[in-house]
Structure 1
Amino acid sequence: MKTNKIFSNKYIKGGLLIALGLLLGWLIFHNPSSEKTEITDDGHDHAVEGHDVWTCSMHPQIRKDEPGDCPICGMDLIPLLKSDVVIDDQAIEMSESAMKLAEVQTSVATRGNVSKEVRLFGKIQVDERLLKSQTAHIPGRIEQLLVNVTGENVKNGQLIAKIYSPELVTAQKELLEALEMADKYPAMLEAVREKLRLWKIGDEQIKEIEKSGATKTEFEVFATTPGIVTNRKVNTGDYVSRGDVLFEVADLSRVWAIFDAYESDLSWISLGQNVEFTAQAIPGKTFSGKITFIDPVVNASTRITRVRVEVPNSGLQFKPEMFVNGIIQSRQAGSGDQLIIPQSAVLWTGKRSVVYVKLPGTEQPAFKMREIILGSAMKDAYVVMDGLAEGEEIVTNGTFSIDAAAQLAGKTSMMNPSGTNVSTGHQHGEMETGVEPATTKNSNKKHVMVSVGGLCEMCKERIETAAKSVTGVESANWETDTKMLHLNFDSSKTNSDEIQKAVAKAGHDTEKFKAPDEVYKKLPECCLYDRFK
């Protein structure tokens, strides 16, 4: 009776129903391996830690588990992998997916032909051996100048001027007097005649004076050198002394094509090589000639050497100061048996050349930096003299991404050859970055970008060489399209201003310093960029 009374209470009945529902739910949904789930979850956390970590090369405190852009500077994130696989302690490991995202590509070092197409720019110039001066052989005043236009063609024996000479008048009187005493003093007559001959007075003119018995006040001057008048030195009425230059005359039947060769191309150029060249003023024609002379001195300002090709010019189609473009198909001795790698594989610090070699036999792709010695540079490749063996696999694309990942991980890298830990930038709170604080040495490393004026590959070589000549500069790369110079240097040894001054001194304007006008004017024509205002 008491039991029925209990169950008839609506509160107790509701509580029992709730308890019964909870019991049924536990029986249906209970998982007896809850402890295992906890272990699995913990194992999942470790797996995540083994996945790729993406960071910013400029702000390494940024850490993400997927690729994207840096929230500070907007640069593409690069992979930084934490791995438990035992490999070389200075190697950097990347997964296949990370390599694809970073666009890393490799190729095998092979032996091949060492050849290069050397492009040269130059001008037509007068053959200096055919450049002569027409001088005055008698002193006096120019009464009439019959050749008075630069560029006029002068023939040998052509009348070019008439000169009044008091000294010659006196010499004529001496001749007439010696002629009267020729019977007694024949040697004196011959001596006076020889004196006139030394003044380039011809035998016919001497006979005419002797026959007429009168002195001439004006004497005719005839050309002794045929060619084109390139420079007129005198005017009518000028007084000239014996030996003074009246005209400079050039024989243009043979001319020189003078090309500017950059010092980095000199190893590809030799005497006797064939040069094919074209002239803008003679479209549709290709000419060729042999190299007959290579200037033994490199110009200190422009870093170029002049290369000479002698060109026949019977039709006078080549004119001095005409622009020409030349090509040399050069091939070095021993070609076909030298180790060659793509230029994109090489990182150059200014003193060292390094590549990243793929280590064989690893579970995941692993790469290690190696210093090499380079030989000649071709259009898209380098000759390797030492440090690499045939058949080794190297990184040819995405090299900077791997180098940045290695540097952030404290491995040996282009800017960190000792393999010490590098700076991670600012530390925010207790954020884990995976990289220890910087050493004093690496805190001095700076990267800046500077706008530098220029046009062509010769400009690029000149700008980079000038920048790298400054102590403390580790790398310099000038982009022809953006006109930006990327610099990596040790701020304890130099600064941006000192580097810009060196570049300006070489003839290229920078953001803060202008090149001297005299240096700029000496640059090859193809390098005359628009000056900075």
Structure 2
Amino acid sequence: MTEPISRTNPSMKNKKNNTWRRTGFAATLLLGTSLLMAACAPDSDHDAHGDQDATIQASIVRIEPVTRQNIGVQTTVVDVRPLTRSIRATGHFVMDEQAERTISPKVSGWVEHLEADFDGKRVRAGDHLFDLYSPEVLSTQEELLTARDFDDDLAESARRRLRLWDIPERIISRVEETGIPMRTIPFHAPSGGEIMRKQVTEGAHVTAGDRLMDIVDISRTWLIVDVHEQDLAWIGVGTKADVELPWNPGKDFGGEVDYIYHMLNEPLRAARARIVLSSENLGDMAGGHHTPFKPGMFATVYLEGRPAPAAPIVPTSSIVRNGRGEVIILDLGGGRFRPVPVTSGLSSDGFTQILTGLEGGERIVTSAQFLIDSEANLGAAMAGMDMGQ
């Protein structure tokens, strides 16, 4: 007789297998909990010091060796040592604001002989930028030459006006020595760098206070790093930094944090830290166009956090956060365990400081602590009910 062909849908088989797996997992979990409750009994040795001692005794649970092995109880000894942390962050280079100079005349006139004629042009301190023809400056020179022979006060007033317009003393002396006023006044670079944000052309009329151009020393740059708020406790002024550039892998540049900005970037939840990089060992790349630190570049930054004071250190996974606070399970020996409330501090690389609750040297539970904590809470609650009766 021919056997009937099975028309069972393969997807139905998969669903049944998944159901059996879930059922098996639930049964295993229930069995483990049942074994724990059966093997964990509150310590019945009540001390005679009052209700508080009775509650502490009620919170102690006793676990048989076989059960400890089945539920995977593991322990470790609390160490006392400083906690350190290395922070990885992303930064970007910006121009050093302290290395920027703005060229802005204090008197009106017309620009002539413009030599700083394009953005990016490199100049040195003292290089000629442009000449300024100013009728006001020219008339003041003539007033000085006329007044110096018969009115010292009027002559000194003219000299003062020229100085207030930043006319160099050497030019004032030259006018007085030669007796010939200068038609145009030369302007020179107050510092070396590159011309940026040029807003003037040959022959343009400018007024007092106009921003004609900036001179920026791009060999001096800042590295701005975003440090997340949870890492701020680890850094401060003087924190050492190692910097890697994407275009030059394998080479590190050293620096340190010299300023931390007070405002927080709300979308990023991060504060900005400013890093000044050392120019040592750069050789020919130490400045100008050849510097490896160009504004706008990105970099990977490793900050060596300052060590936290020595304190008891525990694995972060050993801390039980049960909604009422933080608890660590103490191994009292002889199969006895007791939860103790603690206050945690800084965390790093899987370890956490304990500020209160431990002194160091205690043996604590690092796995299956949640089951033990639950059983201890149950025992303490039942003891409280008994005392209430």
TM-score (norm 1): 0.52
Deviations 1:274-315, CA, capped at 9 Å, x for gaps: 333333344332232344334455555544333333334443
- Hey, what does 2:330 align to over in structure 1? 357
Residue among 79, 83, 90 paired with 1:114: 83
Report SS of the residue matched to 2:231. Answer: helix
| 1:74–1:373 CA distance, 2 compared to 1 (3 A) | same
- Hey, what does 1:330 align to over in structure 2? 306
Q: Does the alignment pair 1:127 with 2:82?
A: no
CA deviation after TM superposition for structure 1 residue 345, in Å? 1.1
CA deviation after TM superposition for structure 1 residue 346, in Å? 1.7
Q: Does the alignment pair 1:80 with 2:51?
A: no
Report SS of the residue matched to 1:80. Answer: helix
- Hey, what does 2:53 align to over in structure 1? none
- Hey, what does 1:370 align to over in structure 2? 340
Q: Does the alignment pair 1:155 with 2:155?
A: no
- Hey, what does 2:227 align to over in structure 1? 261
Q: What is the aligned residue count?
A: 335
Residue among 151, 167, 179 paired with 2:136: 167
What does 1:132-281 correspond to in 2, within 5 Å? 132-142=101-111, 145-172=114-141, 174-175=142-143, 179-180=145-146, 182-202=148-168, 205=171, 207=174, 216=183, 219-235=185-201, 239-281=205-247
CA contact (8 A) 2:41 2:62 kept: no
Deviations 1:210-229, CA, capped at 9 Å, x for gaps: 8585773x543222232233
Residue among 329, 344, 348 paired with 2:317: 344
CA contact (8 A) 1:209 1:215 kept: no
Deviations 1:175-230, CA, capped at 9 Å, x for gaps: 4xx535643335534543443343333456554698585773x5432222322334
CA distance in 2, matches of 1:252, 1:320: 8
CA contact (8 A) 1:117 1:330 kept: no
Deviations 1:93-125, CA, capped at 9 Å, x for gaps: 766666556554332323334333333432333
CA distance in 2, matches of 1:349, 1:248: 60
CA contact (8 A) 1:70 1:77 kept: no
Residue among 50, 60, 70 paired with 2:22: 70
CA deviation after TM superposition for structure 1 residue 372, in Å? 1.0
| 1:348–1:257 CA distance, 2 compared to 1 (3 A) | farther
CA distance in 2, matches of 1:75, 1:298: 50
CA distance in 1, matches of 2:318, 2:337: 13
CA deviation after TM superposition for structure 1 residue 135, in Å? 1.6
What does 1:415-430 correspond to in 2, within 5 Å? none
Q: CA RMSD in A?
A: 4.0
Q: Does the alignment pair 1:385 with 2:338?
A: no
CA distance in 1, matches of 2:117, 2:308: 52
Alignment gaps of 5+ in structure 2: 1-19, 44-57, 280-285, 383-389
- Hey, what does 1:496 align to over in structure 2? none
Task: Give the share of equivalent positions with the same residue, in percent.
Answer: 26
What does 1:270-349 correspond to in 2, within 5 Å? 270-296=236-262, 298-313=264-279, 314-315=286-287, 316-324=291-299, 325-328=301-304, 330-333=306-309, 335=310, 338-348=311-321
| 1:358–1:155 CA distance, 2 compared to 1 (3 A) | same
| 1:220–1:113 CA distance, 2 compared to 1 (3 A) | closer
One-letter identity of the residue aligned with 2:294: K
Deviations 1:250-281, CA, capped at 9 Å, x for gaps: 33444433333333333333443433333334
CA distance in 2, matches of 1:96, 1:360: 11
- Hey, what does 1:519 align to over in structure 2? none
| 1:101–1:161 CA distance, 2 compared to 1 (3 A) | farther
CA distance in 1, matches of 2:75, 2:275: 43
Report SS of the residue matched to 1:320. Answer: coil
Deviations 1:310-352, CA, capped at 9 Å, x for gaps: 334443332233333123163234x3xx321111112346772
CA contact (8 A) 2:145 2:176 kept: no
Higher relative contact order (CA 8 A, sep 6+): 2
Structure 1 or 2, whichever has the larger Rg, is 1
CA deviation after TM superposition for structure 1 residue 374, in Å? 1.2
CA contact (8 A) 1:233 1:247 kept: yes
What does 1:14-93 correspond to in 2, within 5 Å? 69-71=21-23, 77=29, 79-81=32-34, 82-83=37-38, 86-88=41-43, 90=59
CA distance in 1, matches of 2:350, 2:338: 23
One-letter identity of the residue aligned with 1:327: L
CA distance in 2, matches of 1:290, 1:112: 25
CA distance in 2, matches of 1:182, 1:387: 87
Deviations 1:340-379, CA, capped at 9 Å, x for gaps: 11111123467722233345334xxx65543211122222
| 1:193–1:330 CA distance, 2 compared to 1 (3 A) | closer
CA contact (8 A) 1:341 1:382 kept: yes
| 1:152–1:367 CA distance, 2 compared to 1 (3 A) | farther
Q: Does the alignment pair 1:396 with 2:366?
A: yes
CA contact (8 A) 1:146 1:161 kept: yes
CA deviation after TM superposition for structure 1 residue 76, in Å? 7.8
Alignment gaps of 5+ in structure 1: 1-67, 421-533
